[in-house]
Amino acid sequence: MRNAIYILLAFLPLLTSCEREDPEPDQPKYEIPLNKSIVKDVTPNSVTFQYKVSAVEVSETGVYVLKDSTALNPVHISENLNAAEYNAQHDLYSVTVTGLEPYTSYWYIVKVVDRDGNVSFTKATSFKTDGFNLTWREGFSRKIKLKGPSYESLHLTAEYADTDLSHYTINYKGTELTLLRVMKIEASANQYDFTIQIPADVSIGAGTFSVHYKNRKIFEDVLVVEQGDIYEAVKVAKYEHAHGDHAFFEYNDRVHIIYLNGRYRHDIWNPKTNQWEEKPVPDEVTLQRNMEGLEINGKIYFTALSKRGFYESQTYIGCQERIYAYDPKDDSWEFYPLYTSSNSSESLNPYGSFVYQNKLYCFGQRVRYVDGVSQEKQLLQVFNPADKSWEVVMELHGTAWGYKGIVIDGRIYIVAAEEKEHYSATVEFKHELSELNLVSKTLVKKAPLVFNDDEKGSLEPNLFEYRGHLFVFGGKSSVGYYGAGITDLYEYAPESDSWTQLHALDTQLPCQSGFCYVIDNSIYMGLGLNSSLYRSNDIYELKLSN
């Protein structure tokens, strides 16, 4: 923004003699002396003028703005005059002209008509609109590591942007790159994000990275591209038990598997020794498939669920919301009743949970009947083990099929499975990532998961944290007639609000209804269904190699 410079536009005394000679038709009258610019503000697509006119009673005034310097004779200007408005308080005329192009030189001419119809002009003066002020987005630098099989995302920010992608050309070392999107950053009043995809086969090393807008260079810097970490999955163990449904938790660097078919059993696997141990599970314990236990102060708490249609002290319980807990110190189980109803049609369908400040936060769909009317709500609720309280945090008003949460460096991230496409009795999913603010009870959307111009996602994926980043693995890419699983692995970097698609994994990896844990810098995943919907008892280790 430029400081306002006001200038007195003084008319020469008007000649009243009948012998006065008018200028030739093609010669305009320049009777407004212009010694300084009257440009107040310039943006990439607008300009604001402010000026004074004295010693003359003005009937009309305004500013012509032209791009073509060869058509500056005001007598022949065909563009419309941008009429100025008078501010009596400051004795100023002002006008803002919009619709200009960034990085472009223009000319302006002021026109004034007095009460007697005499017309005068200023000399033509040039100005230039601002650029986008492109810069590296916070969290990005002049160096990027390629980790995925297809693209790595690079981000720039600008104070203004044209969202028509066809107007831009991105180049690195002679290779034209894909500009995926230009979008306004929600948390900022006037900032735009440029997402650029660096292909996995691009030349490694340092080179010139440039951005052109309508064939004008608007950004250039040296970019260093390095080969990053590559993930490789290796089969390391097998769960020697019948195929079935399971619940899981990780404790003391061991994977705990609760077998849920028929009589429950509790199997413990030690990744370091590849040894197994079995523990009993009381008959009264009821868990659900793919349910995960989380540790709070040495105890394992499972996501809230509902148990329906049973008797307790000769009293029929139609529905009871409850949370189960396991104490590894003495292998004891207990449950906490949260809500009880005589209506067996009521239920709480769990999605997922996370631990924050020693409390268990649970996502789920609650179905209750009030005055005979069914009420279905998607809720985030919280259980406090200290006082056994159970409260609704907020209602989730979206249309997601499921929610999962994870805490990374004190920040809560929520992954929702949104419907992407519906066809032939089949629903495909996409991820929607948000950061949860528990104080304001709001969800702030983060960068969408998009690769190859396609929104990616799944239902019931595994979330885990590694090196301060969020990883999303597997899940159901679709359900219904063409239901399928997916073994994709994505990495989200909170510091740059960006996603990386990691190298494609073995399609036989168990990717649905299984576990995924980080133990001693190795990532272990196993059990559940593979992408072809066949059950698998295999356990894999995901190793990093440079």
In the DSSP assignment, the letter for residue 398 is S
pLDDT of residue 389: 94
Could you tell me which residue, 22 or 426, shows the higher pLDDT? Answer: 426
CATH fold, domain 135-227, is Immunoglobulin-like (2.60.40)
Tell whether the model's pLDDT for residue 310 goes beyond 50: yes
Quote the tokens at residue 115.
């009460």
Tell whether the model's pLDDT for residue 30 goes beyond 70: no
pLDDT of residue 288: 87
Tell whether the model's pLDDT for residue 405 goes beyond 90: yes
pLDDT of residue 141: 67
pLDDT of residue 186: 67
pLDDT of residue 122: 85
Local confidence band at 435 (pLDDT 50, 70, 90 cut-offs): very high
3 state DSSP class of 170: strand
Least confident of 204-218, 256-270, 314-328, 531-545: 531-545
Local confidence band at 403 (pLDDT 50, 70, 90 cut-offs): very high
Same fold, 8-128 and 135-227: yes
pLDDT of residue 2: 40
Q: Is the sign of the CA dihedral 338, 343, 344, 347 positive or negative?
A: negative
Type and span of the H or E element at 30: none
pLDDT of residue 345: 82
Task: Taking residues 154-170, report their average pLDDT.
Answer: 88
Whole-number Å distance between alpha carbons of 476 and 496: 27
CA 231 to chain centre: 24
Tell whether the model's pLDDT for residue 24 goes beyond 70: no
If you average pLDDT over each of 102-106, 152-156, 410-414, which comes out highest?
410-414
pLDDT of residue 15: 23
Q: What pTM does this model have?
A: 0.64
Tell whether the model's pLDDT for residue 265 goes beyond 80: yes
Q: How far is CA 106 from CA 49, 125, 239, 505, in A?
A: 13, 8, 73, 55
Map out the domains of the chain as residue ranges.
8-128, 135-227, 282-397
pLDDT tens readout for residues 375-394: 888 999 999 999 999 999 99
- Backbone region of residue 118 per phi and psi (left: phi > 0; alpha: psi in -120 to 50; beta: other values): beta
Tell whether the model's pLDDT for residue 10 goes beyond 80: no
Task: Taking residues 414-435, report their average pLDDT.
Answer: 89
Whole-number Å distance between alpha carbons of 46 and 163: 17
pLDDT over 70 percentage in the chain: 87
Whole-number Å distance between alpha carbons of 59 and 322: 79
Burial code (b: 16+ CB inside 10 Å, e: under 16) for 478-501 equals bbeeebbbbbbbbbbbbebbbbbb
Amino acid letter for position 367 = V
Could you tell me which residue, 225 or 372, shows the higher pLDDT? Answer: 225
Tell whether the model's pLDDT for residue 309 goes beyond 50: yes
pLDDT of residue 503: 61
pLDDT tens readout for residues 58-91: 899 999 998 876 666 776 676 788 999 998 888 8
If you average pLDDT over each of 15-19, 161-165, 235-239, which comes out highest?
235-239
Local confidence band at 302 (pLDDT 50, 70, 90 cut-offs): very high
Least confident of 22-26, 33-37, 140-144: 22-26
Tell whether the model's pLDDT for residue 155 goes beyond 90: no
Contact 206, 223 (CB under 8 A): yes
Average pLDDT of the chain to the nearest whole number: 84
3 state DSSP class of 167: helix
Burial group, residue 121, by CB count within 10 angstroms (0-12, 13-18, 19+): buried
pLDDT of residue 293: 95
Q: How far is CA 444 from CA 13, 441, 502, in A?
A: 63, 10, 25
pLDDT over 90 percentage in the chain: 34
CATH fold, domain 8-128, is Immunoglobulin-like (2.60.40)
Tell whether the model's pLDDT for residue 450 goes beyond 50: yes
Task: Taking residues 362-381, report their average pLDDT.
Answer: 86
pLDDT of residue 148: 60
Provide the pairing of β-strand 8-10 with 46-54.
Answer: parallel
Burial code (b: 16+ CB inside 10 Å, e: under 16) for 201-240 equals ebeeeebebbbebeeeebbeeebebeebeebebeebbebe
Tell whether the model's pLDDT for residue 441 goes beyond 90: yes
Task: Report, in this order, helix, strand and coil percent for the chain, each rounded to 5.
Answer: 0, 55, 40
Amino acid letter for position 501 = Q
Q: Is the sign of the CA dihedral 260, 265, 270, 275 positive or negative?
A: negative
Contact 226, 204 (CB under 8 A): yes
